[in-house]
Structure 1
Amino acid sequence: MPASDFSRRRFLGTATVAGLGTVVLSSCGDSDSGSTDNQGRTVVEWWNIQTTQPSKRLWAEQAKAYEKAHPDVRIKLVTLENEAFKSKLTALTSSNKLPDLFHTWGGGVLKQQVDAGLVEDLTDSVKPWIDDLVPVSKEAYQFDGKLYAVPIDIGGVGFWYNKALFKKAGIAAPPTTWSEFLDTVKKLKSAGVTPIALAGKDKWPGMYFWAYLAMRIAGVDGMQKAAEAKDFTGDDFVKAGEHVKELVALQPFQKGFLGAAFSGPTGEAAQMGNGKAAMELMGQWAPTVQAAEGKGIGNDLGFFPFPSVEGGKGKGTDVFGGGGGYALRKGAPKESIDFLKFFMSAESDSKLVKAGVLIPINKGSMDALTDPHLKAVSDMLNASTGFQLYLDQAYPPAVGQEINDSVAALIAGSKSPEQVTRSITQVAKSQ
């Protein structure tokens, strides 16, 4: 992915955060430089969310490789499932006891931690090597011209689909418009195929539908204006909910979807990985999790962007997504920065890219991208005309949670499209 392709895209997460405000937490101030173990080594506690293979193995291998080259340092890995991580980090943020090095999606959550004085400003310490990374990958972690986390990946959300099940239903090509998408759902149902796998219990996968529809109808500029005004009650956002409602009316999801998680033997990823559903709307990590939670469907797995909406202001090439990075608590050991430099080097990044784990972030590892699934997402990103950060990360936590909760209620039939927009607006204005 040439850097020039990335520079064409607008990354709106940072701008929307500023528009919605933040919650002020008490600052922990500078803490000590880190603990030592019984061997006298400096301990860097590293919280990550790599719970599936090969990521879990690769992260551990990189930690060991660094320890081998730096025998006076111990990298203590703490690996948590996505939702458990969010819950525990929220609790630690409230008590001002963040880990030395921890995963972040940037946006609103990181902005709160920054404003509370809990996170290290990395601008100067990474200056010698940060330009080795793809420019747009850093945007979600920058506030007022300063960098507060180092990106490790970038990606986007789209539809993963089962080519064999599409063929069974007589569908020749993936849909490109919303009306075609609804027709695709109908054809799959008529063929006895579950059209869409959804983790209703986890809520955030359902949010992707409303968010993308809002993007397609309001456009990325409309999303930004709504965030800055703290007002999502406009017609475009109501229409997004109405489109979600018309999809739900077709009963496209698997039996028991409201109680299904993303991972686990009966979760969304397993439904796709075991060939029991034709589609899921998910990010670039989907193939890896599908294979880990199910059998995997091999060459039958395909990818297509979220369809455009007829009459909408947004383009079909606007992408909803984000990435992940690592931030440091205020006063974390200096070895934490050195480890990040090692972890994001071209050599290290190439290993992760070749394993099919990440889309390249280091400019020197671009040639390592051979995985067809990640390349499909990379191609979508390269062709993108606009970019919106995940809503539950772009906005302050309370707003992101309300979006997840309200859209989940819409999908469950307990909230109307209008009620969804009013609820989100009410929480946004309270921030």
Structure 2
Amino acid sequence: MIRSNKWYKTLAVAMIAMLILSACSSGSGGNKEQASGNNQPKPSASTSEPAKAEDPKQPVEKKVIVVDPGGDFTDYAPTTSMEKSDANPHPYNEIRVLADEWEKLHPEAKIEILSPTKSKDRKVAIAQLAAGTAADIIYQIGVFKDEDYPKGWVLPFDKYLDMPNPYAEGNAKWKDLYNETWLNKSGDGKVYYIPIDAVPIGIIFNKELFAKAGIDKPPVTYTEFFEAEKKLKAIGVAPYMPIYRWSDITLETAVFAKKIKEWDVLTPNGIIDQEEFVRAYKKDLYQVDSPENREYYKLKKEKTDGYPKGWNSTDAYKAFVTGKVAMIEAVGIHMRNVQDDKERKFDYGTMSFPILSQEESPFGGANTIRGTAGYATAWQLTNSAEKKGTADLAADFLMYLTSPKNNARLVNKLEAAIPAANGAEAVEMFKPMYDQFQQDYKDGYLTWGAFYAAVLAGPEYGQAYEKLSVDYLLGSISLDKLFVELGKAMKKSVNSLVQQHKYDESKW
């Protein structure tokens, strides 16, 4: 929007949007937005001015903006070749095309795009940021911004977010191009990144197996989902398997929906942050062995009835494309891979995770936004831009990239994510999920990752949860035993968080 490094990084996309990622507001001075190099709007005087005419005999030194265009699931760096092949299935250079267009509007500036990217390697990023040699614009997993801003390594976007985006028609403030609940501010109340894309998330299903099992439409509720599992098992196919347990995040949020309203008191925003969770635990408001958790684990267990034998060591993606599993959980990059996979011999579709209704659970009725897990790729402005005096120009370039039409061009060419800017069109493959998200957002559904104890309770608990919950689902331990062991891990992990963050409990 985490647990093992892989878990935390995956979830930081899905969840930290939930829990971490967040964006800003936007605006316009009435300039026309454009989708191509022709009919370009004038640059915004609020961010940077065009270069003044110089003596043609004197060379003008351009300001160089270096962009390290990493991404969450796929990078935005240009490929070495634009020829499509098995080794290069998605040739890409749209960021270079957009940069060339922007340079024509800013003859005083030059965009240098790094390929391959460097800042995704945290050790490299730390060394460069500490030395003031990082690219002006970089990608990092969202959690790192809160480590970096106190050191002055990354710059806040707030002053820019309150300006119009001159490349987006009718925009009053740049931040208006984003969903406010996903614009997670850092501890100082400022925003230190600009969202580039959002992660499509849901279930891919085998249309042929659905038809053979007599399932004429994708299930919507958990009751319908479990019925679909039974029908698929009846024709001798494994119904379902997760690549990762993303649906568990939506399920736990739904089960704890009423509690979220009670516990979201320190920073009321519809999301339980880590301090709010620690407060709830220390005040005995959250308990590991609770009616909510018993319902949550009961439903998790029932879902595994559709898993194939040996699921804990089965490659879910491979099982799906070879027709051995009818449904898998997936994000955009998996959906793209299924689309391209030559092993797949069947038609497929996508659907959202099921919702928990009031009729099927005493804790049902409030659900998580479906279709996307929130912002994924987000780019930061570094201390290098401040040192070089290129921050305003770099921010203007990001405005150009995030106008709805340009954001769609930047993102959609890769077919791996949904553009982050409101009003940007998604590719056809992701359109059903994008439309579902828009409807759920309009209907006031809970933010993705509004509550997920495995992250909120800290890494020690997250690791214990990862192992013990699998043991329970495999039948190695009972539910009572699970709660005893999770309770021990919770106490230890929360105490570590209290010592680490030194929370002011007088405010609780």
Fold shared per TM-score above 0.5: yes
**Aligned twin of 2:138:** 102
**Aligned twin of 1:375:** 432
Superposed CA offset, 1:1-59 (max 9, x none): xxxxxxxxxx99689669xxxxxxxxxxxxxxxxxxxx995533333245489997576
- Tell me: CA distance 1:283–1:147, structure 2 relative to 1, closer, same or farther (3 Å): same
**Aligned twin of 1:119:** 154
1:11-160 equivalences in 2 (<5 Å): 43-51=66-74, 57=90, 60-63=93-96, 65-67=98-100, 69-70=102-103, 72-78=110-116, 85=120, 88-89=121-122, 92-93=125-126, 100-104=136-140, 106=142, 108-115=143-150, 117-128=152-163, 129=165, 130-131=174-175, 133-136=177-180, 138-141=182-185, 144-155=188-199, 157-160=201-204
Aligned-residue offset at 1:215:
1.5
Where 2:383 maps in the other structure, the secondary structure is: coil
Asked whether the equivalents of residues 242 and 330 of structure 2 are also in contact (C-alpha less than 8 Å), the reply is no
Q: Is residue 2:267 matched to residue 1:244?
A: no
Q: Is residue 2:375 matched to residue 1:323?
A: yes
Please give the alpha-carbon distance, in whole angstroms, between the structure 1 residues aligned to 2:212 and 2:184.
41
Where 1:72 maps in the other structure, the secondary structure is: strand
Equivalent residue letter for 1:194: A
> Relative contact order (C-alpha < 8 Å, sep 6+): which is higher?
1
Please give the alpha-carbon distance, in whole angstroms, between the structure 2 residues aligned to 1:74 and 1:54.
11
Please give the alpha-carbon distance, in whole angstroms, between the structure 2 residues aligned to 1:253 and 1:52.
33
Superposed CA offset, 1:238-293 (max 9, x none): 43233323333x261475x4346xxxxxx534443444321122334442232245
Q: Is residue 2:395 matched to residue 1:340?
A: no
Please give the alpha-carbon distance, in whole angstroms, between the structure 2 residues aligned to 1:89 and 1:421.
33
- Tell me: CA distance 1:115–1:169, structure 2 relative to 1, closer, same or farther (3 Å): farther
Structure that is richer in helix per residue: 1
Superposed CA offset, 1:345-369 (max 9, x none): 233223246545443433453xx34
Please give the alpha-carbon distance, in whole angstroms, between the structure 2 residues aligned to 1:143 and 1:395.
22
Equivalent residue letter for 1:304: S
Asked whether the equivalents of residues 60 and 77 of structure 1 are also in contact (C-alpha less than 8 Å), the reply is no
- Tell me: CA distance 1:377–1:272, structure 2 relative to 1, closer, same or farther (3 Å): farther
Q: 1:423 aligns with which of 484, 489, 496?
A: 489
Asked whether the equivalents of residues 141 and 149 of structure 1 are also in contact (C-alpha less than 8 Å), the reply is no
Asked whether the equivalents of residues 105 and 322 of structure 1 are also in contact (C-alpha less than 8 Å), the reply is no
**Aligned twin of 2:361:** 311
Aligned-residue offset at 1:308:
0.9
Please give the alpha-carbon distance, in whole angstroms, between the structure 2 residues aligned to 1:429 and 1:184.
43
Q: Is residue 2:212 matched to residue 1:168?
A: yes
Asked whether the equivalents of residues 354 and 370 of structure 1 are also in contact (C-alpha less than 8 Å), the reply is yes
- Tell me: CA distance 1:269–1:66, structure 2 relative to 1, closer, same or farther (3 Å): farther
Please give the alpha-carbon distance, in whole angstroms, between the structure 1 residues aligned to 2:342 and 2:451.
27
Please give the alpha-carbon distance, in whole angstroms, between the structure 1 residues aligned to 2:200 and 2:448.
9
Asked whether the equivalents of residues 160 and 281 of structure 1 are also in contact (C-alpha less than 8 Å), the reply is yes
Where 1:318 maps in the other structure, the secondary structure is: coil
Q: Is residue 2:279 matched to residue 1:268?
A: no
Where 1:243 maps in the other structure, the secondary structure is: helix
Please give the alpha-carbon distance, in whole angstroms, between the structure 1 residues aligned to 2:199 and 2:307.
26
Please give the alpha-carbon distance, in whole angstroms, between the structure 1 residues aligned to 2:421 and 2:111.
25
**Aligned twin of 1:361:** 420
Q: Is residue 2:410 matched to residue 1:410?
A: no
Asked whether the equivalents of residues 161 and 279 of structure 1 are also in contact (C-alpha less than 8 Å), the reply is yes
Asked whether the equivalents of residues 369 and 440 of structure 2 are also in contact (C-alpha less than 8 Å), the reply is no
Asked whether the equivalents of residues 137 and 151 of structure 1 are also in contact (C-alpha less than 8 Å), the reply is no
Aligned-residue offset at 1:163:
2.2
Asked whether the equivalents of residues 407 and 420 of structure 1 are also in contact (C-alpha less than 8 Å), the reply is no
Asked whether the equivalents of residues 346 and 362 of structure 1 are also in contact (C-alpha less than 8 Å), the reply is yes
Please give the alpha-carbon distance, in whole angstroms, between the structure 1 residues aligned to 2:76 and 2:110.
28
Aligned-residue offset at 1:149:
0.8
- Tell me: CA distance 1:378–1:55, structure 2 relative to 1, closer, same or farther (3 Å): farther
Aligned-residue offset at 1:343:
2.0
Give unmatched runs, 5+ long, in structure 2: 1-13, 22-61, 80-89, 104-108, 166-173, 265-271, 498-508
Superposed CA offset, 1:142-190 (max 9, x none): 6554211111223564333222212222223333333432332233223
Q: 2:255 aligns with which of 217, 220, 239?
A: 217
Where 2:420 maps in the other structure, the secondary structure is: coil
Where 2:216 maps in the other structure, the secondary structure is: coil
Asked whether the equivalents of residues 98 and 401 of structure 2 are also in contact (C-alpha less than 8 Å), the reply is no
Equivalent residue letter for 1:136: E
TM-score normalised by the chain length of structure 2: 0.61
- Tell me: CA distance 1:343–1:407, structure 2 relative to 1, closer, same or farther (3 Å): same
Q: How many residues align?
A: 379
Q: Is residue 2:458 matched to residue 1:399?
A: yes
- Tell me: CA distance 1:401–1:278, structure 2 relative to 1, closer, same or farther (3 Å): farther
Where 1:165 maps in the other structure, the secondary structure is: helix
Aligned-residue offset at 1:430:
1.8
Please give the alpha-carbon distance, in whole angstroms, between the structure 2 residues aligned to 1:359 and 1:421.
39
Where 2:335 maps in the other structure, the secondary structure is: helix
Name the stretch that deviates more: 93-102 or 140-149.
Answer: 93-102
Equivalent residue letter for 1:291: Q
Identity %: 17
- Tell me: CA distance 1:163–1:47, structure 2 relative to 1, closer, same or farther (3 Å): same
- Tell me: CA distance 1:103–1:220, structure 2 relative to 1, closer, same or farther (3 Å): farther
Please give the alpha-carbon distance, in whole angstroms, between the structure 1 residues aligned to 2:364 and 2:123.
34
Please give the alpha-carbon distance, in whole angstroms, between the structure 1 residues aligned to 2:93 and 2:181.
23
Aligned-residue offset at 1:211:
1.9
- Tell me: CA distance 1:358–1:338, structure 2 relative to 1, closer, same or farther (3 Å): same
Asked whether the equivalents of residues 19 and 449 of structure 2 are also in contact (C-alpha less than 8 Å), the reply is no
1:201-212 equivalences in 2 (<5 Å): 205-206=244-245, 208-212=246-250
Name the stretch that deviates more: 127-136 or 208-217.
Answer: 127-136
